Amino acid sequence: MKRVFLIVLDSVGIGEMPDAAEYGDAGSNTLRSASESPYFSMPNMRKLGFFNIEGVSIGEREAVPTGSFARMKELSKGKDTTIGHWEIAGVVSDAPLPVYPHGFPKDIIKEFEKATGRGVLCNRPYSGTEVIKDYGERHLKTGDLIVYTSADSVFQIAAHDKIVPTDKLYEYCRAARKILKGEHGVGRVIARPFTGTAGRFKRTADRHDFSLEPPGITMLDQLKEGGFDVISVGKIADIFAGRGITQAVRTAGNEEGLEQTMRFLEQDFEGLCFTNLVDYDMLYGHRNDVDGYAKALTYFDAQLSKLLARMRADDVLMITADHGCGIDRSFEGIYAASDDGRVCPFRRGFWDKGRLLRYRGDDLRYVWHSGKMPGTEYTLEKRETDRYVRNGRIRVIWDSGSAQKKRGVFYVRDMVVARSAGSGDSAGIYYQGGVYLAVLRGTFGGNVYFGVCALGDV
């Protein structure tokens, strides 16, 4: 064995772990959800034995698999890219990295502003594409940096390349990396440069991750010390803070990642070619785009036959994942900050049978009627005419009772099933004690239920 090609399909999990409930992921199964898309097709992975893995219940099993296969249980605490890759390389983490469902503490933000000489916008969990839509214009006017996070342990900084040159943005990220240590030692500080004009902002390919160094000796360190080649394709070098790498090639996505991997298949080297295919997580998982995710898996499978055809007799190919992402058509949006500090997606599937829904493009829209929940003192002060959920936020257009309509943006704080519903119950947006309550009505398992969702006005 001279060359090993290790490919990580970022976030392509095959079912929940025993501790999934601790992270709010009970019932998650990334592969199964993707397989329900009409765009999913992985015949080459099936031939290798992918569908034969214990617990994988999609497609037909291969009678005589051409590869070896196994289901692996992660030992580390945590569920993000950094910890997943560290464990692949032999470092087990006893504690998860810190996450910030309500944004970063004021003292961290103040220290960062002092280090950069710029103000900060946003500072909350957000979709990377949506945050530049919502804060991009203000950033252009003020020069303030857009800081946001996600369910992962990340401190992300977005800036327009005409306002903050990319090299300067990297400098700001290095400053943040020095600040974010100890209890606030996030796994990655990520530069997210973007370009374009208002309404047409788009992220560039110059993303750069500034990671914590692994807390122990990794397989990469040992290989490099032993005189072997350690080739990084994609963000592997970033994840390991450059340690243990002899050659690194950055990529803009899965397509280029596979192209570069095949390029190394044509070269002579002795050691490891370590590839991360990031699009599953970055482009589709965080946006809960099931069909996009399925198309990306189908594309990989089609390229797999080309990759296998170029392998030499003594080459080894390993395909694995670093974590799952729980894509699911019953979830709408991304990260919704709850009152108790959890980061939880907004569940929509529960209400699909409630006949209160209609769809418009990729948005989920509710049509409400007014009313009161019997036995409560809620007073209906705002009547909603159109409401939709997107990227973890509830956006509301409501009619104040006059000819003027006003748009409000709300965050999901909590979602509970209140109780069984009576025949006189109805759904609506209620206002009580300074808190907006969305009362949802739906059926599940033959029973009619109410869900009460507290909304925080931003």
For residue range 293-308, what is the model confidence (pLDDT) as tens digits? Answer: 999 999 999 999 999 9
Q: How many angstroms separate the CA atoms of 51 and 40, rounded? A: 13
Asked whether 377 and 426 are in contact (CB, 8 A), the reply is no
Residue 328, pLDDT score? 62
Helical axes 106-116 vs 166-179, angle rounded to 10°: 140
Half-sphere exposure of 136 (CA within 13 A, CB side): 22
CATH code for 3-91+229-320?
3.40.720.10
Residue 16, pLDDT score? 87
Burial 421-437 (b: 16+ CB within 10 A, else e): beeebbbbbbeeeeebb
Residue 329, pLDDT score? 54
Residue 454, pLDDT score? 42
Sign of CA dihedral 424, 430, 435, 437: positive
Residue 24, pLDDT score? 65
Q: How many angstroms separate the CA atoms of 8 and 236, rounded? A: 10
Residue 229, pLDDT score? 98
Residue 326, pLDDT score? 72
Q: How many angstroms separate the CA atoms of 290 and 359, rounded? A: 16
Averaged pLDDT score across all residues of the chain: 77
Q: How many angstroms separate the CA atoms of 259 and 255, rounded? A: 6
Q: How many angstroms separate the CA atoms of 99 and 368, rounded? A: 35
Is pLDDT at 380 greater than 70 in this prediction? Answer: no
- Beta bridge partners of residue 316, listed in sequence order: 4
Asked whether 219 and 203 are in contact (CB, 8 A), the reply is no
Q: How many angstroms separate the CA atoms of 149 and 155, rounded? A: 5
As separate numbers, helices (DSSP H) first and strands (DSSP E) second, the chain gives: 11, 21
Give me the percent of the chain exceeding a pLDDT of 90: 59
pLDDT tens profile 255-312: 999 999 999 999 999 999 999 999 999 888 877 788 999 999 999 999 999 999 999 9
Strand, helix or coil for residue 444: strand
According to DSSP, residue 433 is labeled: T
Strand, helix or coil for residue 372: coil
Is pLDDT at 392 greater than 60 in this prediction? Answer: no
**Structural domain boundaries of the chain?**
3-91+229-320, 106-211, 331-457
Q: How many angstroms separate the CA atoms of 88 and 267, rounded? A: 25
Tell the CATH topology of 106-211: Alpha-Beta Plaits (3.30.70)
Count of CB atoms within 10 A of residue 212's CB? 20
The pTM for the full model equals 0.71
- Residues 6 or more apart whose CB falls under 8 angstroms from that of 226 comprise none
* Structure tokens, 262: 């095949």
Weakest mean pLDDT among 65-74, 191-200, 234-243, 390-399: 390-399
